[in-house]
A and B are shown apart, each in its own frame.
Chain A
Amino acid sequence: MTSTPGIRRTPRTARRPRTPRSRTRPPRALAALAVLSALALLLSGCSGDASGSSGGKVTLTFAWWGNDDRHKRTNEAVDLFEKRHPNVTVRTSFASYESYVQKLATQAAGGDLPDVAQLDYRQISQYAGSDTLRDLGPYVKSGALRTGAFDKELLSTGAYEGTQYALPMGSGTTGFAYDAAVFEKAGVDPPKPGWTWQEWADAGRAVSDLGLKGPNGKPYTGHTDMGVHEDAFEMWLRSRGKQLYASEDELGFTARDLARFWSFTDKLRREGVVSQAKDTSQISGAVESGPMGRKLAATDFTWDAPFLGYPPLLGDSVHFAPVPTTGGKAGQYIKPTMLLGVGANSEHPKEAAELVDFLLNDPAAGDILGVTRGVPPNQEIAERVSKDLKGPEKELYDFGKKVIRYGVDPPPKAPPRGDVVLQVSFSRVYQQVVYERQSPAEAAEEYVAEAERELR
């Protein structure tokens, strides 16, 4: 291993773990050796390595991230697939987003991506660019993967430099979760498509002026501070005619743009209109830990899928509002919530493609999966699934249709490789602003410098 540790795939024979062995040993040490090898057996029993086929039997690996609900539904769909394809066994594994992303990266590095892997939009460039995903084009062409009922723009989000590497599993969009009851109390009209960032800020002021208190007697503010969200910045940017990335290695905005965005949110923070530093810094992605989830703010910038976490937590008065506009220009777009790809080294690409096709296009699978990954990309399935939706899920579905009706831009190209990292940096750098360690301009400079290093 002293040579360059590149991505060369290790032959399977090299896999067998080595145990320390010396050539001669005292007789009693044999006992120790026995224990050792027993342990070795035990351990290798735990190491997952089963994609081989025996006697016409095919084993596929399929991995995704998500919550328990998605886990349950997906396993159920996989069971159905196995029933229909008796010669195929699917080994599933799922994890939380963070560890999933990390594990996938190491698997990819070892040339060992699962046969079928769920991917984030941000990962497409990374994986496709490193040749760890299989070109799905031939399967689409042959009809093994049916994409006829897919929205063309959504479908293109799985392409990288003209090659289809992944298929979207669902579509979703951004918006604001807001507590309509609080808005009403503050005398604010329910948000309508086309409302502006100014109106958004005013709504927050009106709510903060109510002087409500959250648990522990903390002041209840109008909005969650959205300065931590790269996505929110993207919406704001797009509503001003710019975008996050101009190309694979170039930002689509300047430090001045970012400074303006952060000044906007920072000023609101100083006024007490958005959540305070200590609460903002606890935003972790789980709705429970954010200011709105902790009953300290009336709105939260979010995606439609996580939005579903709010009504059970805060009650039925929580609704989903469109992203504000700049003078009527919306930044909102329909994004793939996640995508499905096939590992480049999959030994059973045909079966893998069958599984992908089944999950995306089979009506029965659609019924099982529902909207656990956003609105299904196959519009016929989406239509079919929508009939059974109720409550917030129904609201989201209708919201998606409404947003489309009001006009959305086509989604940008898949974000460049560095974006996975930059998304996290974005909120971290902003913490320097809310804790008043840097001015918005200084923080913006720091972020842009980091982004340029990340993209080069």
Chain B
Amino acid sequence: MTAQAPPPAAAAERPAPARDRAAPGRRRPVRRERQGPAYIFLSPWILGVVLLTLAPMAVSLYLSFTDYNLFDPPKWVGLRNYAEMFTEDPRYWRSVGTTLLYVVVAVPLKLALALGVALLLNSMRTGKGFYRSAFYAPSLLGASMSIALVWRALFNDGGTVDELLSGVGINTGGWVADPDLAVFVVVLLTVWQFGAPMVIFLAGLQQIPTDVYEAAALDGAGRWRQFVSVTLPMLSPVLFFNLVLETIQSFQVFTPAFAISAGKGGPADSTNFYTLYLYERGFSASHMGYASAMAWVLLLAIGAVTVVLFRTSRSWVFYANEEG
């Protein structure tokens, strides 16, 4: 999957297989159809899955147990890459720390802003369409190298932000060169692209029927009360969708970190995001085995986080058409 917030699509969709299983019941009993055509339609996809997903995943799993530098045949080293990663490589843990910090700060901030602005826009009668488009624009541009360069310049020593802050007596000397602040340049760049989740929130908000609010108002619920008791639960599937999507993407952030640190993950490893380190290990240092191990840990970590999110979702996500 590419970076960047993809548009909503699946929001609030019940897990699809369940739906599928339910589906045939409604339809006419299955005629014995020829399966040939289906596989012809699917052939590019199947080819892609086998050649570019399944086989590579298997190979990368295998490589993760080897020492492979592209030049010489892979050398089996068992669990050494994993052991090295977890016990010997301080930079690995630094990159994990940086990435987690980024995910934990950027995702909630971005979603909160997206929700806040969506609520604001939803309550407006005029100009909604205009604002929606305008706020969405950064999401399309934000993943580009150009914009990353802009942020690098804005937050650099002597850049606009630096000058503004020193105007009020805070001397940072540029966030980009400060190991404590550099990661937040990436955070802010991410938050700046709140438009994509906002659009999804907005669409979700519009689907909440007004009579629910009216009922709540009749029951004497105030604005905040309505928000907590009506809006949030009704919006929870969308919120959940956004949360999963943004979290998964945040783990894979690359371009802005690359641009802001001139490809080096500095200063002092402070923007050495997981993916940046993976790239460096695999492609600059030619440790393909090590990088494969890193990729598999990332895969498992993202899987685990997703599972946890899905688990917790049972207690706070409410599907209107829940059947059980």
Contact = CB atoms under 8 A, between A and B. Distances in A.
Direct contact of A and B (CB under 8 A): yes
Interface in A412-456: 420-421, 424, 428, 431-432, 434-435, 437, 446, 449-450, 453
A179 to B, nearest CB: 22
A56 interface: no
Interface in B226-265: 262, 264-265
B36 to A, nearest CB: 8
A435 B267 contact: yes
Interface stretch (B142-150, B173-181, B295-303): B173-181
25 contacts: A2-B59, A5-B63, A6-B74, A20-B44, A22-B40, A102-B284, A105-B286, A108-B70, A108-B71, A109-B71, A130-B72, A132-B71, A216-B158, A277-B177, A278-B173, A278-B174, A278-B178, A281-B268, A428-B264, A428-B266, A431-B267, A431-B268, A431-B269, A432-B268, A449-B88
A278 B157 contact: yes
A1 B55 contact: yes
B44 A130 contact: no
Contacts of A282: 177
Nearest to A418: B285
Contacts, number: 86
Contacts of B9: none
Nearest to A424: B284
B141 interface: no
B47 interface: yes
B169 interface: no
A10 interface: no
* Nearest 5 CB-CB pairings of A with B: A109-B70, A6-B73, A130-B71, A278-B177, A435-B268
Interface in A240-284: 277-278, 281-282, 284
Nearest to B285: A421
A330 B71 CA distance: 37
B206 interface: no
Contacts of A216: 157-158
A106 B59 contact: no
A171 to B, nearest CB: 28
Interface in B267-284: 267-269, 283-284
Contacts of B51: 1
B78 interface: no
Contacts of A20: 43-44, 47
Interface string A278-315: 10011010000000000000000000000000000000
A13 interface: no
A132 B43 CA distance: 39
B18 to A, nearest CB: 30
B178 A105 contact: no
A106 B266 contact: no
B58 interface: yes
Contacts of B177: 277-278, 281-282
B90 interface: yes
A281 B266 contact: yes
A428 B269 contact: yes
A54 interface: no
B39 to A, nearest CB: 9
Given A105-B286, A277-B177, 7 more contacts: A7-B72, A22-B43, A102-B283, A216-B157, A278-B267, A420-B285, A428-B266
Contacts of A424: 284
Contacts of B43: 20, 22
A84 interface: no
B262 A284 contact: yes
A106 B70 contact: yes
A141 interface: no
Contacts of B55: 1-2
B214 interface: no
A281 B267 contact: yes
A142 interface: no
Contacts of A421: 284-286
A20 to B, nearest CB: 4
B84 interface: yes
A157 interface: no
A63 B157 CA distance: 38
A249 B295 CA distance: 28
Interface in A1-18: 1-2, 4-7
A126 interface: yes
Nearest to A435: B268
Interface string A132-147: 1000000000000000
A453 B157 CA distance: 36
A435 B55 CA distance: 44
A184 B106 CA distance: 52
Contacts of A130: 71-72
* Best-buried of B55, B63, B158, B179 by chain A (most CB within 10 Å): B179
Nearest to B173: A278
A47 interface: no
A24 B90 CA distance: 55
Nearest to A284: B262
Given A1-B55, A6-B74, A278-B174, A453 B266 contact: no
Nearest to A3: B59
B295 to A, nearest CB: 15
* Best-buried of A126, A420, A428 by chain B (most CB within 10 Å): A428
A288 to B, nearest CB: 13
Nearest to A417: B69
Interface in B281-295: 283-286
Interface string B69-85: 01111100000000010
A152 interface: no
* Best-buried of A5, A102, A130 by chain B (most CB within 10 Å): A5
Given A20-B44, A278-B267, A453 B70 contact: no
A269 B88 CA distance: 29
A4 B73 contact: yes
Interface string B23-47: 0000000000000000010011001
A105 B68 CA distance: 13
A4 B74 contact: yes
A284 B264 CA distance: 10
A5 B269 contact: no
A109 B288 CA distance: 12
A23 to B, nearest CB: 7
Contacts of A102: 283-284
